[in-house]
Amino acid sequence: MVSTAFPVLLKFAQVQGYNLVALGLIWAFAAGGKLFVYQSSVVIMGYSYGYFQSKDLLKVGAILTMIEGLFLMLLVLWYWPFIGVHWR
């Protein structure tokens, strides 16, 4: 899902004048938290063999997604301008 939408996203960013590197990094980080089983082949295998249920994945995935989102906001605000990654 991430790789198929990536070219469209980058074209949109280019047309709007956004930094392609910054948006690409955000897109890659956003794929980190797993809320649904189909987001990773490893998660699909674990789920199919019954190691966890869908409610377990949703609980852990929601917490990890929120933590990663907060961490990403901190990176975008403070660290990325320091290393030269700007929005426009």
26 in any annotated domain: yes
9 in any annotated domain: yes
Q: How many CB atoms lie within 10 A of CB 60?
A: 14
60 in any annotated domain: yes
Higher pLDDT, 42 or 20: 20
Would the pLDDT of 15 be above 90?
A: yes
pLDDT of residue 39: 72
70 in any annotated domain: yes
Cβ distance 35 to 66 under 8 Å? no
The DSSP secondary-structure symbol of 77 reads I
Of all residues in the chain, the percent with pLDDT exceeding 90 is: 6
**pLDDT of 24-54, one tens digit each?**
777 776 666 677 777 777 778 888 888 888 8
CA 23 to chain centre: 11
Please choose, from the candidates 55, 57, 63, 30, the residue with its C-alpha nearest in 3D space to the C-alpha of residue 43: 57
14 in any annotated domain: yes
Q: How many domains does the chain have?
A: 1
Range of the domain at 53: 2-83
63 in any annotated domain: yes
88 in any annotated domain: no
For residues 47 and 66, what is the distance between their CA atoms, to the nearest angstrom? 22
